[in-house]
Each structure stands twice: as structure tokens, then as C-alpha cells.
Amino acid sequence: MQLKHIVLAALSSIAFAHLPAQAAGLTQYQAKAVSNYATTQYPLVMAHGFGLGFSRIGTQMLGLDYWYQILPDLARNGATVFAAEMSAVESTEVRGEQLLQQVDEVMALTGKEKVNLIGHSHGGPTIQYIEGVAPEKVASMTAVAGAMKGTKLADVMIESKFLDPIAEVVFGLLGKSIALIQSNPQLSVDYEGSMQSLSTTGIIAFNAKYGSAAIPKDCNSQGQKQTADGIYHYSWMGNQQITNPLDVIDTSIVALGTTLLKSKDHDGLVSLCSGRYGQVIRQDYKHNHFDEINHFFGIQGIFAQDPVAIYRQHANRLKLQGL
């Protein structure tokens, strides 16, 4: 623990002046529209996941987006789309409150009374928090490989006397680094809180407090598409692990996750059962956990579906639903 505090303090003193920075918080993606295919009634707000989660590092022209190439494509097809910026390593409740503030900002900027929320990985429970505390602000919620029932990886980390202290240092540094690079150093970092939120016991407690009829009771059923509060719910994910060995970062992380999970019913980090939410569109895309957001840098496996097109089609689905 002492080593972590020393390294974090040293890291906090680094200016990162060589990196282009964005304004802290919400990022709106703008482009000259070439069609109205993705023009939804309510704006799209995207919620990133855990660990490597960020909205954008750098500028729109020179930076790196978490939703790689996806949001500019949505904007070109008529969508009003924003990327939210939450703590990369934090509890679901803290991340949810950060997201809620940005939902309010989007509503103020656009003059719309609701938003369409899309969350990847830990972003799934994060958007679910909004339905729990402010359902009147949400038109639809979409979980992309959402950890709606947590992930066994969190249980493994918590229970391992060897892995847990190492992961605490690594993810503590990662969360702080991402916050600094995004020029948003006030974003908090809580590794223990994040692991508890994503653990089996933690997610049961969370769903008891903020749960939804969109979360199915078992692994073979679907949750309700439209719940009593009028919100529509959707989900999709891939069922592959290592999809392209040339994608070194992707392959390394997913290989580690696959080893720890000791099964194949997952996308490398999140199980298919956990990813089921509302209307399950598909769970057999030839994607792993990072392919689902078109990372790293759009490198895909052979015969993989285009992630950018999947989001564009989903925006059209919401449009046709009147959302």
C-alpha cells in the first residue's frame, strides 16, 4: 500500500504536456451529416467501462476515442451523440452520479427531456443506476457486453492474495493516469470499490437497490424490453476471446481474462449470462470485449462484423422506435 501511495504521488506531479488535452468532462461529436439514418429523437450518451475506460484522449482530430471511429460515424449519419467521462476505476454508484451530472448537461445543451444511454462493460451497471434514481430522464438503455450481473474476474481478484494487491497498484495507477491525461484529475480512483461493485455479492446488492425488470432472472431468458417506467432496454455482445493475434494489447488482456475465467461462455472478460439485458439482439458476434468498441485501433478478426455498422444500425433501431 505504501508503494502505491508513493507511485501515485509521483505520477500526480507529471504534467503530460506532450499530450493534446480535451476539456474535462462531456465530449460532443460533431460532423457534417451525410444522412439522417441515425437521427434519433433523443441524444445518445455513451458510458465507458472499467480500467481502460475514457471518453477521449487528445483532440477530435488527433486524439484517441474509447468508442473508436464509432461516434464520428454516428454523427455523420445524423446522430446527436456525446461521450460521457467517468472515473475509470470506481464504484458503480460514484460513476453513476458522475454520469447523471452529464446527462443533465446533455439535456440542457440539447433542450431534450430524455437521453438514450449506451454502456459498455462496467458502463452497463452505470447506466442502470440512472434508471434507478432518475428514470424520467431516460428513453432507452443499451448494454454492450454489460456486466449486469457482475463478472467472476472481480471475484477472482478479491479472493486472490497474490493478484489483488498487484491489481490494486496497477489499476490505481491506470485510473489516475487516465484522469490526468484527460485533464480531469479530480476524477476519483477506488480500486476496492470497483471490484466490490463488479463482484457477485456486490452486484446482487446493487441490483436489489437499483435493479430493473430488464435484467433476466436466469441465463436462458430475456429481460423486459420495455419496463413499467416506459424505458426501452437492449443488449448485444460477442462470444469470442482471441480474435486477432496481431492485436497485441487486445490479445494479452483477453488471454489473461480467459485464463482466469476458465470457461468459454464469455467475450474474454464478461460472461454471456451477465451480458443479457432487455431485448437481447445478439450474443454471437465474432468479437471479444475490445472488438465490441472497435479497439484496439479497429483491428478485427477474419469474418468479424463491423462494430461501427452495428452501432449505426442500433441508432436506426432507436429512431424507428421513436426514441
- Cell (9 digits) for 243: 480474435
Q: Beta strand 115-120 with 81-83: parallel, antiparallel or unpaired?
A: unpaired
- The residue annotated as part of the active site, out of 289, 291, 295, 314, is 289
**Residue in this structure with the C-alpha cell 457534417, named with its chain if needed:** 32
- How crowded is residue 32: how many other Cβ atoms within 10 Å of its Cβ? 6
Q: What is the DSSP letter of 34?
A: S
Catalytic residue among 267, 274, 287, 314: 267
pTM of the model: 0.89
DSSP 242-294: ---TT-HHHHHHHHHHHHHHTSSSBSSSSBHHHH--SEEEEEEES--TTGGGT
Residue 129 CB-density burial (10 A; 0-12 exposed, 13-18 middle, 19+ buried): buried
Domain coverage including residue 216? 2-320
The number of folded domains in the chain is 1
Q: For residue 289, indicate whether it is catalytic.
A: yes
Is residue 267 part of the annotated active site? The answer reads yes
Residue 121 annotated in active site: yes
Reading the chain (323 residues) residue by residue, the pLDDT tens digits are 333 333 333 333 332 222 222 334 899 998 999 999 999 999 999 999 997 777 776 655 556 789 999 999 999 999 999 999 999 999 999 999 999 999 999 999 999 999 999 999 999 999 999 999 999 999 999 999 999 999 999 999 899 888 888 889 888 887 888 888 877 888 999 999 999 999 999 999 999 999 999 999 999 999 999 999 999 999 999 999 999 988 887 888 888 888 888 777 999 999 999 999 999 999 999 999 999 999 888 888 888 999 999 999 999 999 999 99
Give the CATH number, domain containing residue 304.
Answer: 3.40.50.1820
**121 CB burial (10 A radius; 0-12, 13-18, 19+):** buried
Catalytic residue among 121, 140, 199, 235: 121
Query: Which residues, at least 6 apart from 6, have a Cβ–Cβ distance to it below 8 Å?
Result: none
